[in-house]
Structure formats: C-alpha cells, structure tokens
C-alpha cells in the first residue's frame, strides 16, 4: 500500500518562460548573476536541501542551451514546457509520475527566477507542511499600502489587512496538484490558486523579503549585490 510508504519530496522548477520584462535580451533564467546564472543559483539552493530526493527542471521544447548555462546540474530534465506556467507545471508532474513519483509524494514548485532562496527557508516549508492535509507556500504579509489603478491614477485604496504576497516554493501532494491543474487556464499564476479553486486552503508559511522573483532590470543589480554579500 502506498499509504504505508513515507512520502518523498521532489522539487519542480518551471523554466520555460522568456522573461521579456527583464530586458536581458534572452531568457532571464540564463542571465549572468554573481558569478553564475539566475537558474544556477536557484538549483544550487534546492540541491542543498537533503530531504528533496530529486529536482526536475521543465524547459521549453526548443531550449538547447540549458546544459551550456548550468553544466554541473545533476537532476532530471524535461523539455515539455507549455504555453503557460500551469501547463508547464502540469506537464512536469506527468514527467515526475513517469519517473516513479506517487500521488502521495510532495512536490515543491519553485520559480527559476527566485534565485535568492535559501535552503533553510525550504526546510521550514517542509517542516510546516509535511503533516498538513493540504500543503502550503512561502509568503509574506503585505506591509505597504495597496492601490487600485485606472488610467495611471489611483482609483481606490485596498485594505492590506490579511493580505499576503505569495512566494515559492509551493508544496502540495502530486495527486492533489495534478487534479487541481487539470484544465487550469493562463489566469492561474501559481499552484496555490489552482488548489484554492478546488476548495482547499493552503497553509501560509512566512518567508523572507529576500526571496523575491528577479523580474525587472533593477532586480538584477539588487540580487547580484545580495548574492555577493552572502559569498
């Protein structure tokens, strides 16, 4: 019986995006950063988490440069990336299942561009979710005042009470997440929202302000300084 087998932990890194907002002239995950690449730093952090059995990187079908940019990667690779994040992750879950992952195993989905994640933050998420019925995600309470915008002007102020900013990793059982992502459209921008749409309430695990997603040109300078300071 699979219920008698302790669940394993896998990491899944969707890496099929083009990163057009980053202004790097190519996929932002391959941009040079602090002596490495964005995705290289991300994968190094995941590799340092002992409870993660294997890491799967899901690339776009036409990606022929990953091995050039991350030559020492020792995990699994898939080139089944889709047109949306949800499709890429869903395809990656299918690949994990083909590699032997079971429905009750945990999958930690992590953004390739969150290259400042630390192994200890990932361990905190695993500790918080391993015995949870649903799973959860790293997130931060919103500290700033939020505004609704219309035509470049403030339309209204949003009450920030009980608002959290979602981060990754996001940790769910393979079977639950697979079901949740079935038929998910491009409006689903993270795994937790797909799980929520099935009536579940993922657990919020406090993350760190440093665990931001490198998105815009100015983000690269900040990420580079932080990574070099750590080194």
3-state SS, one letter per residue, for the chain = CHHHCCCCEEEEEEECCCCHHHCCCCCHHHCEECCEEHHHHHHHHHHCCCCEEEEEEEECCCCCCHHHHCCCCCCEEECCCCCCHHHHHHHHHHHHHHCCCCCCCEEEECCCCCCCCCHHHHHHHHHHHCCCCCEEEEEEECCCCEEEEECCEEEEEECCCCCEEEEEEEEEEHHHHHHHHCCCCCCCCCHHHHHHCCCCCCEEEECCCCCCCCCCHHHHHHHHHHHHHHC
Q: What is the CATH number of domain 2-230?
A: 3.90.550.10
Q: Give the separation between CA 67 and CA 224, rounded to whole angstroms.
A: 22
Positions of the chain with pLDDT under 70: 1-3, 18-26, 231
Structure confidence at residue 18 (pLDDT): 64
Check: CB of residue 229 under 8 Å from CB of residue 119.
no
Domain segments of the chain as ranges: 2-230
Q: Give the separation between CA 63 and CA 181, rounded to whole angstroms.
A: 24
Pairing assessment for the beta strands 146-150 and 203-206 based on DSSP bridges: unpaired
Determine phi and psi for 57, rounding to 5 degrees.
-100, 125
Q: Give the separation between CA 168 and CA 122, rounded to whole angstroms.
A: 9
């Amino acid at each position: 019986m699979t219920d008698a087998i302790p669940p394993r932990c896998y990491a899944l890194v969707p890496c099929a995006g083009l990163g057009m907002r980053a202004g790097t002239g190519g996929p932002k995950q391959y941009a040079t950063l602090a002596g490495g690449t964005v995705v290289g730093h991300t994968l190094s952090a995941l590799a340092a988490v002992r409870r993660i059995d294997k890491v799967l990187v899901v690339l776009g079908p036409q990606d022929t440069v990953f091995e050039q940019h991350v030559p020492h990667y020792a995990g699994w690779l898939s080139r089944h990336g889709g047109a949306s994040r949800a499709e890429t992750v869903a395809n990656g879950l299918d690949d994990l299942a083909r590699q032997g992952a079971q429905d009750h195993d945990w999958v930690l989905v992590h953004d390739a561009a969150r290259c400042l994640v630390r192994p200890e933050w990932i361990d905190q998420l695993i500790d918080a979710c391993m015995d949870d019925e649903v799973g959860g995600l790293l997130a931060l309470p919103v500290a700033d005042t939020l505004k609704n915008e219309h035509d470049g002007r403030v339309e209204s102020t949003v009450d920030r009470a009980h608002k959290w900013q979602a981060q990754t990793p996001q940790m769910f059982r393979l079977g639950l997440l697979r079901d949740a992502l079935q038929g998910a459209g491009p409006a689903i921008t993270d795994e937790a929202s797909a799980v929520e749409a099935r009536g579940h309430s993922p657990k919020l695990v406090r993350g760190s302000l440093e665990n931001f997603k490198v998105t815009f040109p100015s983000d690269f300078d900040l990420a580079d300084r932080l990574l070099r300071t750590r080194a």
